[in-house]
Amino acid sequence: MRITNVSAGYVTGISQGSATMTAYFNGLTATASVSVTAVNPPPPSGSAPTVSTNNATGISQNSATLNGYGTPNGSATSCWFEYGAGAGLGQTAGNRYIGSGNSGINLNSTISGLSANTTYYFRAACQNSYGTTRGTVLSFTTSNNPPVAMSRPVM
């Protein structure tokens, strides 16, 4: 058996059982019989992200800003918003990488091209290697078109 790498107290490339080990250093040789016991590696740190959807702001006839809050929980995480005029949502906006820390990040994305006097549904969503989490679906209604001014003909 030949061990080629020992790092941070772990020996790799060796099987469980008994073995004879020989060490060579500056022309000296030492031989020892060792017993190898396999241990389970520690579980990976991290978990699926947490996310919340917050109320939309800046609502006009054709645009709005979607808001939320995402926490990576120790794993590289990306977040976005899902939205649409129906409860099926169907569109996405604001895809953003928020890192891999454990602190929450404010999320926002301004969407435009919306129809006036229409109810839209939306939620924040985040994903990392542990899973995808979606916030609660909220809604907002765009404002009405302004009234059209009628002019009188000049006589």
pLDDT of residue 84: 97
In percent, the amount of the chain with pLDDT more than 70 equals: 70
The confidence score (pLDDT) of residue 76 equals: 96
Residues 34-56 have a mean pLDDT of 80
**Strand intervals (E) in 14-136:** 17-25, 28-36, 50-57, 63-71, 77-84, 91-99, 105-112, 119-128, 131-134
Rounded distance between C-alpha atoms, residue 89 and residue 67, angstroms:
16
- For 6-38, write each residue's pLDDT tens digit: 554 555 566 667 766 676 767 777 776 766 666
Q: What confidence tens digit (pLDDT) does each residue in 95-110 have?
A: 999 999 999 999 999 9
pLDDT at 12: 57
The CATH number of the structural domain formed by 50-141 is 2.60.40.10
Question: Where do the domains of the chain lie?
Answer: 11-36, 50-141
27-54: average pLDDT:
77
Confidence of residue 152 (pLDDT cuts 50, 70, 90): low
- pLDDT at 41 (0 to 100): 65
